[in-house]
Structure 1
Amino acid sequence: MPRSRTITGVFLVLTAAACGAIAGGVLVMIQDLPQIRSLESFAPSAITRIYAADNTLLAELYREKRDPVPLSKIPMDLKKAVITAEDRQFYDHTGIDVKGILRALVHDLLAGGFVQGASTISQQLAKTLFLSPEKTITRKLREALLSVQLERRYTKDEIIELYLNQIYLGSGAYGVASAARIFFGKAVSDLDLAECAMIAAMPKAPSAYSPLVHPELAVKRRNIVLNQMLATAIISKNRYQAAVEKPFVAVKNPRISPAPYFVDHVKKILEAEIGPARLYTGGLSIHTTLSPQLQTAAETALAHGIAALVDRRKNSPDLTGIPQGALIAMDVRSGEILAMCGGNDYAASHFNRATQSLRQPGSAFKPIVYAHAIEQGFHQASLVLDAPVAYPGEKPGDFWQPENFSLTYAGEITLRKALADSKNIPAVRLIEKLGVPGVMAFARELGISSQLSPYLSLALGTSEVTLMELTNAYTVFPNQGIYVTPICIADVLDADHQSIWHSKQEKRIALSRENAAIMCDMLEGVIAEGTGKAARSLPGPVAGKTGTTNKYKDALFVGFSSTIAAGVWVGCDDFTTIGPQETGARAALPIWTEFMQTALTSRAGEYFDLPEGMVKVKIDPDTGKKAPEDGAGVVALFRRENAPED
């Protein structure tokens, strides 16, 4: 008898110790649990959307494709289908399903491991929000404790709403709203019974039951859920029959970004300004300046131009480079970027040649030199010598001899003719008179921020710049001499539709209004009388300048109307030639002209600004003298005090 009492006593002591250890472990576990009250400030990551100027969706940004919606916008069929498939006792238990746990425990013991789950919706939510996915007894206990706390603190509807917005449903979809968009191409509120059942079938195995990956298996699993709903009298026999007979048709997800280079540019700016975390998880609405109509026109024109170039290169098998191109367009007054093509094949290369590529602009830089000359007192009829010249090089005995593209020289000619015909020698002589530092400083005023080389060859566009900054510099001419920083973002709204960021613009007078008008007139002359003649078919006043670099490595045309400026670059990323005689007029100007044909239709151009005190005089482009009214000549704009009188 004493021996029996001893054994009983030892058993009781051990049992008490075990219970104490378990209780202590549970107490430690409870103290170590995440704070449930943090859910009150919990905001699941949401999709950020980028919109064009007309509110067309350009892109969606996210780390998890999640689009939170209130329970009121979720169909009752979907709510009931999920509860049927995942937790039929949801409205009856207090966070854990004891019968389910015992049933699962028997299966697990028989199988010798974790084979059957018994997680309620509350437990699944607790695991998703607070715990790691490993299958251990400790994790299951923590999950159960957390689910009980959730049930005590929140209503059933609050829990199911958070669950439906948080659960992963395969194919990158987090939450039922995202799943509705990805799988069915519609808002969650528009789902029918069959679609609701298919989404409800996914939480158990999102990858296996995704209709985009395994459509037949997804339909089979959907029908099981529908059968469960019928068996529990949630749906009628007629509704069940109609739903199970409905085939699944995969939606073709549209190309989210019709302007991928532009979207990348927007993302780059906002990553620096508001940070990647907020950008990709904050559910922001980013309203941009892009015109979808002009973007389409830009992409079409660039594709046509590059295709024509590729066709011309077929007879030159020695050309190894791959032709590329870029186009950027902006509003001359607001600085808003209206269209941007950073290349002709985004899938092949994400490198943005409109904003990132530094290339020599060739003669497209000359207007900056001429504008500075006009600002310093020169006028269109001023004469400059077009004759061979040599300058001493950096080493003794070295000489630099610039040449005209045509290798012909005209002697003394007017600034207007020198620019229209894109003469190199007059541009070099002009920068020599003006001083290279002065031209460099003036280029900075026009927004050229890339490093410029302090040599006379700067006049010929030998310093590399981006297409965006060069095009932006040209906007000063039709904008009455006012420089405006280019912008691509109009406003950024948070999830509560409050503005949190917008572009900050710099505006300054870079050129007098009168001299800006003269530059517009001179650059009109390039199209009317010079290398840009191919654009004469365009309606309304347009102006611009061609650019070609040595060995035809780069071809450019930058021009404008009174409302819009656009720049086009064509070349190869490896700096090889694009082909013989592929000048700016041949390779880039046709692209610009095709684009502007659409731009001028949608944005009717007016005449260029004509300030008071300015007069138009017909002159001889060679001598600069006033031409007879009935004789040959060109009409040029002057300040009244500079106008030729004889």
Structure 2
Amino acid sequence: MYFYLKPELPSVEVLREVKLQTPMRIFTQDGKLISQYGVKRRIPVSLEEVPEALVQALIATEDSRFYDHIGVDPIGVARAFLNLVTTGERGQGASTLTMQMARGFFLTREKKFSRKIRELFIALHMEQELSKDEILELYLNKVELGHRAFGFGAAAQVYYGKNLNQLDLAQIATLAGLPQAPSTLNPISRPERSKERRRIVLLRMLDEGYINRQQFDEAAQAPVTAKKHGAELALDAPYLADLIYNEMVEIYGKEIAETSGFNVYATASYDMQKAAQEAVIQNLHDYDERHGFRGPLAQLWEPLKRQAVTPSAASDSSEQSNVEPEETPAPFNENAWSVEKVTAYLDSVDEIKPLLPAVVMAVQQKTADVIIADGRMIRLTWDGLDWARPYISDQSQGDDPEYAADILAEGMLVYIRKRPQDDVWQLGQFPDATGALVALDPNDGAVKAVVGGYSFYQSQFNRATQAKRQVGSNIKPFVYAGAIESGYNLASIINDAPINQWDSSSGVAWRPQNSPAVYEGPIRMRVAMGMSKNVVSVRLLRGVGLDETVDYIARFGFDKDDIPRDETLSLGSGSHTPIEVVSGIAVLANGGFAVRPYFIERIENDLGELLWQAEPVYACNPCDTDTPSKQESAEDERDIEAMLAAEFGRQTTNTAVKAKVKQSAEQVISPQTAFLVTEMMRTAVKANGSWNNKTYWLGTGWRAKNLLQRDDIGGKTGTTNDSKDTWFSGFAGNLVATTWVGFDDASRQLGRASRNQNLVNKNPEKFNWIGNAVIGVEDGAKGAQPAWIRFMQDVLKDKPEVQKQIPEGIVRVRIDIKTGKLTKRTDHTAMFEYFKVGTEPTTYVTDDELSLPIDEENPEQPKDDDIF
């Protein structure tokens, strides 16, 4: 029979070269796991890494004579044959571990004699080709154990969220009982059957002398502690991981990408990605909460009628709004659910991190008690409730709450969250608005952080790379760059006055307006950028020419088809993605080089061998080189190509090692133009002039300088018509970043927020600076910039400032701040300004043109409340 079947049997020699299907793992640049992809979850382990108790449990349960037989156990076969003869049923398989391996690699589970005979012969072959330890190690890594876990390393993670060496005896016995029927004996799906199977495994271990009676009793009586765990992630960064996964699938195909054990390292670091995610989430909560509480998710039972607040209580409320009142026993409500019923219900409600579903169990004067799914009772103090005035519309909010009962009632299903800045539990809600953040290294385009929305698990749409939204005034740095290239300079005087242009084709006059509708008259270009004057941008476009401006803006990487062919271009009517915008800002920040964004730094195989290394272009010309010898480079390249061919059975165009020469990026604008535009962007993020001399004015992004306290920053706000999109883009340190906030429904306005006195009372010194207390119409400075500031505060807190690099061909001369002409004065009417050589002013201001000093005695600086 053997010789008859031999031609059909697979070669067992392939087992020595077997490639276990392992999932792709994605890490941050500094090696922190952020995601894992693959249908089969597998964590390969060597025999030395496996606890002895697990080996003993498997041998005792599955094959007690494993180290004695030749792959087939005659005693087991005889037992199975006897069972067949006496019962007429094939109830016992008599499979050894080796036979299970033969079936797992080459055959199916169908119960046929022909399959069993092939299984026997393959097992005999395996025992001739492999040692017992090699067979056991393959078994430990190959066997299917339920919930897509293959091998015991993965099963320990899936069921217990631990490594194998962290499991106790009860958990080891549970896993050892899974191979017989992983779908029906696993502790998640069938905990009672799993517990009984665990007892059988422990009895076998006791019979074989591997454990004593006390160990048996303790493990057999232990509770079932298994629950489904995902991969043990250092940081859940799904928007970043999804971008990398899709790129890997595009390069290698889905099957190879998911099963070849790739370790993919992102360009983003753990700290920056974490900071970006927290900044976006906090900013969206700030926006959402200043627009009011939209009410509970559901009302689970009818609360008792609210009792009126006594006058004495009301009179004390203003003085003791943050003082926890004395508790009074809540009256009995026969409608209320039991704790058991509430927690069972909460188990079915989705958790959307950082939001936890909770049910209100009791409401006091200034506090409320809520319960969460794990049964914990949490008290929400007034500090976590006082923001929740009623939401009326995006444009208006109700009265500030005075008591907890103004907000909550017994039986309400709500979300709560813990504030990251102080660990205070706070009433929360899922934000209606959404946002994005992208940060790049402007020197080579490496993406240092990317966030595509509030929650990937609610919406996989990545707004950072896919959402084309109107950019508003974020387009102005590129329009101004075109003007400088055409001969304008930072001191050029442009008329900031209303435009009224009749359009004969439509019969309507076009009247672009400043926001707010304030006009300064003749104004220097630097000031116009800092104040974000719309009509000045239109006049600059006219001065340069529409076609010329379109062509010039396209140099920054914007798709020409997305650039409008009319004068609204200068106001940001074009729609672009945040990653396109930040790439354009990178060109300005790096001196004019078009670096390309990239997400993957390198790819390694499961042995840590380098398969592919990113080869970005750099913002330098010429670039420093670090070139190995030609022979060394050629040998390395051939070695990697051979490895890839052996791994995947085909050649690949990706080579892991080439000559380490920094490739220069294309220089798309002059370094002088880039420098002058970044100078204007520096002006836009700070307070300028002198308050005492009435030359004081604020850039639209002034909060950035106030809060970051750095000189190496610059940026530009952006707000579209009716505040449907808000932006902030800028540079700081060695980073460029763009943030956007809006609704997925592009027709919905972000609206306005009125003053919430409860929030003002918390921190009056910083009211209006950042976060919930910002009032007025939502714009780039209020809606999007706070996320940018928070991100930069976090990632730059220990980083030194980057010194300003002034390129050749730039001169600095003293000018009059009113006319932009040369001046010999050294008072507040004068300042030093940068110019391209040859564009500096040549005439001096005359006496009748001078800006006269203001005779005023030291008025106070404006307070934040006064600014708006």
Relative distance call for 1:240 and 1:530 in structure 2 (3 A) is: same
Contact map agreement 2:235 2:270 (CA 8 A) in 1: no
Q: CA deviation at 1:620?
A: 4.9
Q: Within 1, Cα distance between the matches of 2:13 and 2:174?
A: 33
TM-score by length of 1: 0.89
1:274-316 superposed Cα distances (whole Å, 9 cap, x missing partner)? 3322321111222222222222322222222212221233366
Range with bigger deviation, 497-506 or 618-627: 618-627
Contact map agreement 1:284 1:492 (CA 8 A) in 2: yes
Do residues 564 (structure 1) and 735 (structure 2) align? Answer: yes
Q: Within 1, Cα distance between the matches of 2:170 and 2:836?
A: 76
Do residues 487 (structure 1) and 598 (structure 2) align? Answer: yes
Q: CA deviation at 1:548?
A: 0.8
Relative distance call for 1:483 and 1:172 in structure 2 (3 A) is: same
1:197-251 superposed Cα distances (whole Å, 9 cap, x missing partner)? 3321211122333334445544443332232122123345565566556655447
Matched with 2:280 is 302
Q: Kindly indicate whether structure 1 or structure 2 has the higher relative contact order, using CA contacts under 8 Å at least 6 residues apart.
A: 1
Q: Within 2, Cα distance between the matches of 1:105 and 1:349?
A: 57
Contact map agreement 1:480 1:609 (CA 8 A) in 2: no
Matches within 5 A, 1:196-275: 196-215=172-191, 217-236=193-212, 240=216, 243-244=219-220, 249-250=225-226, 257-275=235-253
Matched with 1:413 is 523
1:5-49 superposed Cα distances (whole Å, 9 cap, x missing partner)? xxxxxxxxxxxxxxxxxx5xx766543333333323320111332
Q: CA deviation at 1:524?
A: 0.8
Matched with 1:330 is 440
Do residues 631 (structure 1) and 609 (structure 2) align? Answer: no
SS in 1 for 2:186: coil
Matched with 2:303 is none
Q: CA deviation at 1:482?
A: 2.4
- Aligned-partner residue type, residue 289 of structure 2: D
Overall identity of the aligned pairs, in %: 34
Matched with 1:517 is 675
Relative distance call for 1:352 and 1:622 in structure 2 (3 A) is: farther
1:251-289 superposed Cα distances (whole Å, 9 cap, x missing partner)? 766556421111111112222123322321111222222
- Aligned-partner residue type, residue 454 of structure 1: R
Aligned with residue 152 of structure 2, among 154, 172, 176: 176
Aligned with residue 579 of structure 2, among 465, 468, 473: 468
Give me the CA root mean square deviation: 2.8
Relative distance call for 1:466 and 1:442 in structure 2 (3 A) is: same
1:546-588 superposed Cα distances (whole Å, 9 cap, x missing partner)? 1111121100000111411111100011112121421111211
Contact map agreement 1:520 1:608 (CA 8 A) in 2: no
Relative distance call for 1:346 and 1:635 in structure 2 (3 A) is: farther
SS in 2 for 1:475: helix
Q: CA deviation at 1:137?
A: 3.0
1:426-459 superposed Cα distances (whole Å, 9 cap, x missing partner)? 2122223323333333333322247323322222
Matched with 1:71 is 47
Matched with 1:543 is 714
Contact map agreement 1:478 1:609 (CA 8 A) in 2: no
Q: Within 1, Cα distance between the matches of 2:234 and 2:4?
A: 49
Q: Within 1, Cα distance between the matches of 2:832 and 2:554?
A: 31
Q: Within 2, Cα distance between the matches of 1:491 and 1:623?
A: 54
Matches within 5 A, 1:245-394: 249-250=225-226, 257-314=235-292, 317-319=392-394, 322-389=432-499
Contact map agreement 2:541 2:567 (CA 8 A) in 1: yes
Contact map agreement 2:33 2:233 (CA 8 A) in 1: no
Relative distance call for 1:553 and 1:539 in structure 2 (3 A) is: same
Matched with 2:750 is 578
SS in 1 for 2:684: helix
Q: CA deviation at 1:399?
A: 5.2
Matched with 2:653 is none
Matched with 2:791 is 595
Contact map agreement 2:284 2:434 (CA 8 A) in 1: yes
Q: Within 1, Cα distance between the matches of 2:263 and 2:817?
A: 54
Q: CA deviation at 1:594?
A: 1.9
1:99-153 superposed Cα distances (whole Å, 9 cap, x missing partner)? 4334334445665544332222122112211223333333333323322332233
Do residues 115 (structure 1) and 190 (structure 2) align? Answer: no
Q: Within 1, Cα distance between the matches of 2:186 and 2:474?
A: 54
Do residues 61 (structure 1) and 37 (structure 2) align? Answer: yes
Relative distance call for 1:120 and 1:402 in structure 2 (3 A) is: same
Do residues 604 (structure 1) and 776 (structure 2) align? Answer: no
SS in 2 for 1:343: coil
Aligned with residue 59 of structure 2, among 83, 94, 101: 83
- Aligned-partner residue type, residue 120 of structure 1: T
Do residues 148 (structure 1) and 124 (structure 2) align? Answer: yes
Q: CA deviation at 1:396?
A: 6.1
Q: Within 2, Cα distance between the matches of 1:169 and 1:133?
A: 15
SS in 2 for 1:606: coil
- Aligned-partner residue type, residue 36 of structure 2: E
Q: CA deviation at 1:376?
A: 2.5
Aligned with residue 133 of structure 2, among 133, 157, 167: 157
Matched with 2:654 is none
Matches within 5 A, 1:409-448: 409-448=519-558
Pairs aligned (count): 622
- Aligned-partner residue type, residue 265 of structure 1: L
Q: Within 2, Cα distance between the matches of 1:31 and 1:437?
A: 74
Q: Within 1, Cα distance between the matches of 2:502 and 2:106?
A: 74
Q: CA deviation at 1:328?
A: 1.4
Contact map agreement 2:489 2:835 (CA 8 A) in 1: yes
SS in 2 for 1:46: coil
TM-score by length of 2: 0.67
Matched with 2:648 is none
Q: Within 2, Cα distance between the matches of 1:604 and 1:212?
A: 51
1:371-400 superposed Cα distances (whole Å, 9 cap, x missing partner)? 122122211011223334455759464554
Q: CA deviation at 1:361?
A: 0.7
Do residues 51 (structure 1) and 209 (structure 2) align? Answer: no
Matches within 5 A, 1:101-112: 101-108=77-84
Q: Within 2, Cα distance between the matches of 1:434 and 1:114?
A: 88
Contact map agreement 1:417 1:621 (CA 8 A) in 2: no
Contact map agreement 2:550 2:560 (CA 8 A) in 1: no
SS in 2 for 1:527: coil
Contact map agreement 1:257 1:263 (CA 8 A) in 2: no
Relative distance call for 1:117 and 1:450 in structure 2 (3 A) is: farther
Q: Within 2, Cα distance between the matches of 1:57 and 1:566?
A: 24
Relative distance call for 1:625 and 1:447 in structure 2 (3 A) is: same
Contact map agreement 1:523 1:544 (CA 8 A) in 2: yes
1:580-609 superposed Cα distances (whole Å, 9 cap, x missing partner)? 421111211122222222222143322322
Matched with 1:534 is 703
Matched with 1:643 is 840
Structure (1 or 2) with the greater helix fraction: 1
Matched with 1:453 is 564
